Amino acid sequence: MRVAIHITHEALYKVGGIGEVINQLCTSPYYLSLFDKTLLYGPLFEYIGSSSTRLGKDGIVFYSSKDLYDSGNFYRIFRTLLEKYSIDIVYGKRRIINEFNPKKISTVDVLLVDITHMKKDIINYAKYLFWEKFGLSSDKYEYEWDYEQYFRIGIPYFELISLLYPNAKLIVHFSHEYMGIPCLLSLELNPEFNAEKHKRIFYAHEVAPVRRLVEKLGGGDISFYNILKNCYQQGLSLEDFFGSQEDWYRTPLVKLAQRFDKIFAVGDWVIEEYRFLCPQVEKEKIVCVYNAISLDHYTFEDKISSKEKIKRSLKNGWAIKEIDVIFTHICRLVKSKGIWRDFILLSYLDKFFQENGLFGVYILLSSIIPTGRPSNEVEKMIKEYNWPFEHKKGWPDLIGYEIEIYNLIKSFNERSKNIKALFVNQFGFSKTKCPTLLAEEVDTIDLKIASDVELGMSIYEPFGISHIEVLPFGGISIHSTSCGVYFFLEKIFQNTFKPYYALDFISIGKNFDLETLKILTSEQRIALEELCIANNISKIFEKIPKNLKEKELIFNQITELAKKLSWDEIIKNNFIPKIKSLSFMV
């Protein structure tokens, strides 16, 4: 029996990009043909619902120790470990349904561990062993619960999986980001650990200290990636130049991933970033395993239908006669997404739209609240002040970074003539999430299908799945070369038309020396960004599909190549071969 174990914070629910990757892997026929069992392992964050519903609406609970809920004598299996470590567990199965292709369904095992009352002497002894064996000083990070919980779930990890899969001939352990690293390290501490049977992979969805640096630097990606290139030439590592990054617990964990069999980097920049952080990593150990997008069959008529539904919804709030181009940006609301760049670009495009008699709308779907606003609160805002066409500071509306973003939108709308911007600070664009705003059955997928242009000029973007989800529907992507997806697309669309435009902000700082790059201010960076966009705006305008004929042409052209963007294609030709290279699997 071959088992895959994914250690993640998204074992129960898909929240972001990691959850999307896990869901796509677990529903792919190529992945399912390779592994007989899959386990999602992580901390139990809270007790939600009743004892039989703790794994959500798509889960089946077999055993919940704290609830004394047992559907099959599982207490006998787990009792010794529960008492030894003073932990509780919820164990069962969860059905995973592919969002874009509901026919693709799989069932995985789920094991969540409540480590809030774990015995202190056992924790301290484990921390001593980690310090002795790996040089990991846990005492620096004990005040960080995020560190503590992922360290603790690693302590009983080997024994728990040995109970669940005693007959497994091969177990492939995936640490998604830093979260599973203590689990994978803990395997080495067990005398029964067999390196041939247990293969360990660090799934690098980012390089944590790099994201932090890019966001802190006044020059953002312009500074960081030019610093990286210059330091390579001078033989300097990231910490040689920026100083130690070990004040943040994620850094030493990520550095320890060098001990594992492979590092799967989701993009080309991630490989360079990891080598910059850890120059001593073996070159062949870190490989690129791209993300991808889901595909299903849609016609051009479907695109027109979705576009008309979006237009009708927007006309309820705006006195808009016609919309020629729909711009979208669907993302998490974090600085790394470079959302301010959208308004620099749109301001330049607005002049072209005026000259050509075109009208466009830009829809930013992003929320600082991961679960979004409750629908009853949304309904109140719509009735009181026509949300999301108008916003107010304070819950349930604008909070935190949302305030800064709305100020950008408000300022843009006051100046623009032919393009107007809308900020939907909600998690999801549907009748359920946005009642009364959307009078008919509209969903987030309609927004992606209807979109003509998805913006994604991020300053840090290891891959960028959402950047290209519009491509199969005839939309184009405008992103930065700081995004991992740029390299992915360049490989796929060689010697063909390109349904994207990549802005190279990085190269505009290539002639600056290291010291200048380090002290570049945000004001200077914005001036450089404006220069880069101004130099490219004519070509960008030409690339945008402006009428029905152009949109249909792009739709038909992409249809022939869309398969290469699909998860099944990437899993079959990229992910699976790299897994097989680790072991005797044939």
Question: 3-state SS of 238-303?
Answer: HHHHHCCCCCCCHHHHHHHHHHCCEEEECCHHHHHHHHHHCCCCCHHHEEECCCCECCCCCCHHHH
**Is the pLDDT assigned to residue 237 strictly greater than 80?**
yes
* Tokens standing for residue 194: 């067999």
> Is there a single domain that holds both residue 36 and residue 148?
yes
Do residues 538 and 496 both lie within one domain?
A: yes
SS3 percent helix, strand, coil of the chain, rounded to 5, is: 50, 15, 35
pLDDT mean over 185-203: 95
Asked whether residue 153 falls in the same domain as residue 6, the answer is: yes
Query: Which CATH number is 316's domain given?
Result: 3.40.50.2000
Clarify whether residues 315 and 374 are in a common domain: yes
pLDDT at 375 over 70: yes
We report the CATH number of the domain holding residue 19 as 3.40.50
Does pLDDT of 332 surpass 60?
A: yes
Interval 446-458 mean pLDDT: 96
pLDDT surpasses 50 at 242? yes
Residue 466 included in any domain: yes
> Is 215 among the domain residues?
no
On whether residue 214 sits in a domain, the answer given is: no
371 within some domain? yes
Mean pLDDT of 194-205: 95
Query: What percentage of the chain carries pLDDT values higher than 70?
Result: 98
The reply to whether 271 and 304 lie within a common domain is: no
Residue 81 in contact with residue 155, Cβ under 8 Å?
no
State whether 359 and 494 are in the same domain.
yes
Residue 243 inside a domain? The answer is no
The burial class, CB within 10 Å (0-12 / 13-18 / 19+), for 259 is: middle
Mean pLDDT within 123-152: 96
Residue from 179, 182, 150, 157 nearest 18 by CA: 179
3-state secondary structure of 121: helix
| 275 and 371 share one domain | no
Do residues 465 and 372 both lie within one domain?
Answer: yes
Structural domain containing residue 478: 300-562
Q: Are 45 and 203 contacting, i.e. CB atoms less than 8 angstroms apart?
A: no
Token readout for 296 is 């299903």
Kindly state whether residues 359 and 469 are assigned to the same domain.
Answer: yes
- Per-residue pLDDT at 403 exceeds 50: yes
Which residue spans within 295-446 are E strands per DSSP? 325-330, 360-365, 419-424
| pLDDT at site 13 | 82
Whether 240 is in a domain gets the answer no
Ramachandran region of residue 464, left (φ > 0), alpha (ψ -120 to 50) or beta? left
State whether residue 398 is helix, strand or coil.
Answer: strand
Asked if 479 and 338 count as a contact pair (C-beta separation under 8 A), the reply is no
C-alpha to C-alpha distance for 466 and 404, rounded to whole angstroms: 22
Q: Which residue has the higher pLDDT, 294 or 159?
A: 159
Residue 584 has pLDDT above 70, yes or no: no
Which residues neighbour 371 within 8 Å (Cβ) at sequence distance 6 or greater? 427
**Number of domains present in the structure of the chain:** 2
In this structure, the answer to whether residues 285 and 317 fall within a common structural domain is no
Q: Could you give the C-alpha distances from 231 to 239, 243, 277, 515, in angstroms and in order?
A: 11, 13, 11, 11
Q: Position of tokens 């390299």? A: 487
Q: Is residue 436 part of a domain?
A: yes
The rounded mean pLDDT for the chain is 93
User: Is residue 69 in some structural domain?
Assistant: yes
Same-domain status, 272 and 343: no
What's residue 92's pLDDT? Answer: 97
Which helix (H) or strand (E) segment holds residue 105: the answer is strand 105-114
If you average pLDDT over residues 405-421, what whole number do you get?
A: 96
Least confident interval from 216-225, 306-315, 376-385: 306-315
* Overall average pLDDT of the 360-365 stretch: 96
426 near 432, Cβ under 8 Å?
no
Q: Is 172 exposed, middle or buried (0-12, 13-18, 19+ CB in 10 A)?
A: buried
pLDDT at 149: 97
β-sheet bridge partners, residue 176: 203
In this structure, are 385 and 279 located in the same domain?
Answer: no
Confidence (pLDDT) at 241 = 97
Mean pLDDT of the region 155-178: 96
Give the mean pLDDT of 225-230. 98
d(CA 175, CA 284): 19
Q: What is the rounded distance in angstroms from the CA atom of residue 82 to the CA atom of residue 251?
A: 31
